[in-house]
Structure 1
Amino acid sequence: MSDLKIIDLTQMLAGPFGTMALADHGALVIKVEPPEGDMTRAAGPFRPDDAQQLLGGYFQSVDRNKRSVCLDLKTEAGKAALKALVRDADAVVENFRAGVMERLGLGYEVLREENPRLVYGALRGFGDRRTGASPYVDWPAFDVIAQAMGGIMAITGADGRTPTKIGPGVGDIVPGMMLAFGVLAAVHHARRTGEGQFVDVSMVDCVLSVCERMVWQHSVQGLVPGPEGNHHPFLCPFGIFTAADGYVTVAAQQDMFFDVLCEAIEAPELAKDPRFAVREARTENRHVLIPILNERMARFTKAELMARLGGRMPFGPVMNIADIREDPHFVARDMIVDVEQPGAAPIQVAGVPIKMTVTPGGVRRRSPLLGEDTREYLRQAGLTEEEIETIVAARRTRARSEKELV
């Protein structure tokens, strides 16, 4: 994707995660930031001295491989500069609230006049009026809102009554992935036809799509699924079980795998018990079987269970980041990588999960310092040195003013 040029106006996690995926696989992603920078720059977390560079762990993780251009889009000079950047871009991506870009005079209809083949990707909580006017279109949203309204909280929880937030920001990350896919699909179309288009991604829609099972359960079975704890509603055993020193996961719903499980945990009688011997019976009697399996498996450590079950059936220990860093799988797959941290030891971030044999992606470059690439890319966009100096000087003036106010 080295021939792909993305103008990235996104901030926080959802949009930047999507453009990160494109940058990881070679796209030139020019992150256009306001003079104060992406909101995550100041949020940290920081190690000592990192805050002076506004380059903390959060920003390093999802804005690696990108370039940074600082523009104040509330000024005429900033607007003109953005239009210049757009003229030879494949896509512009933003995750502002609905109407923000239009009020700036930089909405899709304006920018496509500069570049008819432009793909315009928008990621919002509840989508955009152009493709379906939600009654909540003007509502702001973050991950936790998308998780709540998209349905994933309602089917997650340790018991049948308490909805639970998923640990990572899936309400941001899944929409970010969908955004990257949508932009690539639209760019493919634009390169074949010369026709750009508006790509609309709603955070709550994306979360609902991840919860596809509850949609057909309601339609086919008339159910309103709720939290199922740490086990599957109709596959058994399929979930989290207790070990002597932690927890493991088992997916032994198939008869042949259940036989392996019973033999490995020294409970062969369970495989012959008519309540559990076949798949349908295990599902019907899952509330009886699960406590029995917990009791039997708790006699073994995670390492012992891994030695007995690993490779013989679907099995995996529950691992935290300390476990993951030491595990040979993640080492072999380059899934924890170092990125440069100017003036300090490198920061580690998650690697690239999509592996390719001919055009492999990678974490090749740290996240940019604020405005680090402003001059280079505005010069390439055709701005004069005088115009560039005006933009850079205005940013310096605004930064000084804000420091004085503080």
Structure 2
Amino acid sequence: MSSSTPAGPLDGITVLDLTAMLSGPFATMVLGDLGARIIKVESSDGDMVRPSARLPGNDDPKSYGGYFQSINRNKESIVVDLKSAEGKDIIRKLVAQADIVVENFRAGVMDRLDLSYEQLSEIKPDLVYGCIRGFGDARTGRSPYADWPAFDVVAQAMGGIMGITGPSEQEPMKIGAGIGDTVPSLFLATGVLAALHRARSTGESQFVDVGMYDSVLAVCERIVYQHSYFGENPGPEGSSHPLLCPFGLFPTTDGHVAIACPRDHFWAILAEEMGQPDLADDPRFKTNEARVKHREATQEIVGEWTSRQSKKQIMDRLGGRIPLGPVNRAADIFADPHVAARKMLTSVEQPGADGRKVQIVDTPIHVLETPGGIRSRGPLLGEHTDRVLSEIGYDPDEITELHAAGVIA
């Protein structure tokens, strides 16, 4: 990429990233993939996920594992002691030149550090300040759980998604991906960009608050209208859908396929391929509403047919004709030509791995003229401290003194 080529549509935007773990870093990752400059502020211990998922044999204490690499690409790392007066001054100077600040501390932490939204927006009147908390921030509505800590599994449980996931009422199930963290991240990324648009037109600061519980609830919108409209209290549905049929997973000789034929013309194609064309006109199965009423029989018919074939056989016969797809695991995804065509896996350098490169997921947001994506590996702890401080006015002697005092690293 030449120096004149934009890094992405957010090229020129600077984000001060005071986040750790998954929810906050995932949000700033999205902004970084779109071209924003992300300056990640860490303590001397670093983001606690740095050691997670290291390559076997990689004992380099300066290195990091897959967890950190995957969601902290395109970022610069500086180490600052936020409890020191000098460290707080560094943050304030960085804020003065930033467009967006993002943090995911527990409620009140930034206030106690004298780095609250109100204090930082005095420094930068058009600052956009975004935060993710388990149960939101009191500024936008104080939850009775406001001071509770939260992780992905807690948000999944309380937000309603585990209540409708699993094989039965007795077995609610956590979704494998950390959607209790990543869904709030996506909402926050959207929110801070909307707020930035507003801040730039008005010159006024904006506070953007996303709760993990709230975000999971938002993507479970169906259970709300089901309860409000019909008095239902939805429970686990297995892999089916309460309003659409057939719609779910069906067994094959080598795994499972997802088939979704709620539209009647798709059902007619499937019925023909199953060798039972009369099902398209059978009153019990002709319409989606009828099939929902006869869900068990519909699923049994489809499942009996799929169970006698492999995933590939089904895909060869019906691919492109009805909505369907195989249940992929990681190895299947690596081999899928779609993933290669869409450039969804990118190789990056892995420090401490003797030159070996690893693959991580690239951005799914494809912008034709300014595409963005992965530009650099995750940063070593404090890798960019000196350079960033020199950019905001610290001379070499001052930087040396701050190092000696333990304020930076």
TM-score with structure 2 setting the length: 0.94
Q: In 2, Cα distance between the equivalents of 1:371 and 1:326?
A: 36
Alignment partner for residue 158 of structure 1, among 167, 183, 193?
167
Q: CA deviation at 1:50?
A: 5.4
In the alignment, which residue of structure 1 is the partner of 2:180? Answer: 171
Residues of 2 paired with 1:360 and 1:20: CA distance?
15
Q: Does 1:332 align with 2:338?
A: no
Taking structure 1 as reference, are residues 233 and 161 closer, same or farther at Cα in structure 2, changes over 3 Å only? farther
Counterpart Cα distance in 1 of 2:345 and 2:99 = 30
Partner-residue secondary structure (3-state), 1:87? helix
Aligned length: 398
- Opposite residue 278 of structure 1, the aligned amino acid is T
Equivalent position of 2:382 in the other structure: 371
Preserved contact between residue 2 and residue 28 of structure 1 (Cα < 8 Å): yes
How far apart in 1 are the matches of 2:167 and 2:328? 18
Aligned position for 2:3: none
- Partner-residue secondary structure (3-state), 1:126: coil
Partner of 1:317: 326
**2:211 & 2:296 partners in 1: Cα distance?**
38
Residues 343-394 of structure 1: per-residue CA shift (max 9 Å, x gap): 3311211111011111101111000000000011111112232332233234
Q: Are 2:227 and 1:218 equivalent residues in the alignment?
A: yes
SS at structure 2 position matched to 1:85? helix
Give, in angstroms, the shift of residue 245 of structure 1.
1.1
CA distance, structure 1, for counterparts of residue 63 and residue 154 of structure 2:
27
CA distance in 2, matches of 1:311, 1:242: 20
Cα deviation, 1:54-77, whole Å, max 9, x if unaligned, reads 321000000000000110101111
User: Partners in 2 of 1:111 and 1:51 — Cα distance?
Assistant: 37
Is the deviation greater in 55-64 or in 39-48?
39-48
1:337 touches 1:363 (CA, 8 Å); kept in 2? yes
Aligned to 2:244: 235
Q: Is 2:141 aligned against 1:132?
A: yes
Q: How far off is 1:47 after superposition?
A: 3.3
**What is the identity, as a one-letter code, of the residue corresponding to 1:387?**
E
CA contact (8 A) 2:52 2:66 kept: no
Contact 1:267-1:296 within 8 A present in 2 as well: no
For 1:160, what is the secondary structure of its paired residue?
A: coil
SS in 2 for 1:233: coil
Question: Shift of residue 277 of structure 1?
Answer: 1.9
Cα displacement string for residues 292-350 of structure 1 (whole angstroms, at most 9, x for unaligned residues)? 21111111110000011100010101110100100100000011111111333112111
CA pair 233-51 structure 1, distance change in 2 beyond 3 A? farther
**Which residue number in structure 2 is paired with residue 349 of structure 1?**
360
Write out per-residue CA displacement over residues 18-48 of structure 1, whole angstroms, 9 at most, x where no aligned residue. Answer: 0000000110000000111111113333332
Aligned residue type for 1:372: E
Helix, strand or coil at the partner of 1:164: coil
Aligned partner of 2:312 in structure 1 is 303
Q: Distance in 2 between matches of 1:125 and 1:386?
A: 42
1:24 matches 2:23 = no
Secondary structure, counterpart of 2:257 in structure 1: strand
How many Å separate the matches in 1 of 2:157 and 2:13? 35
2:14 is aligned with 1:5: yes
Q: Tell me the C-alpha RMSD between the 2 structures.
A: 1.4
Runs (4+) of structure 1 exceeding 4 A deviation are none
Please list the CA deviations of residues 205-248 of structure 1 after superposition, one character each: whole Å capped at 9, or x if unmatched: 00000000111111111111111111011210000001111100
**Matched residues in 1 for 2:292 and 2:104: separation?**
44
1:127 and 1:203 in contact (8 A); partners too: yes
C-alpha spacing 1:353/1:392, structure 2 compared with 1 (3 Å): same
Distance (Å, rounded) in 2 between the aligned partners of 1:41 and 1:394: 24
Distance 2:271 2:169 in 1: 28
Contact kept? 2:52, 2:64, Cα under 8 Å: no
**Residues 11, 162 of structure 1: CA spacing in aligned structure 2 closer, same or farther, 3 A cutoff?**
same
Instruction: Give the aligned residue type for 1:355.
Output: H
Aligned-partner Cα distance in 2 for 1:37–1:388: 20
Aligned residue type for 1:127 = G
Unaligned runs of 5+ in 1: 400-406
Equivalence for 2:6? none
Partner letter of residue 281 of structure 1?
A
1:294 equivalent among 293, 297, 303: 303
**Residue in structure 2 matching 1:257, options 249, 259, 266:** 266
Q: Which sits farther off after the overlay, 124-133 or 270-279?
A: 270-279
Amino acid at match of 1:202: G
SS in 2 for 1:53: coil
Q: Secondary structure at the match of 1:149?
A: helix
- How many Å apart are 1:51 and its aligned residue? 4.3
On the 8 A contact 2:44/2:79 being kept in 1, the answer is yes
**Identity of aligned pairs, percent?**
54
Contact preservation (8 Å) 2:15, 2:38:
yes
Amino acid at match of 2:100: A
Contact 1:64 1:368 in 2 (8 A): yes
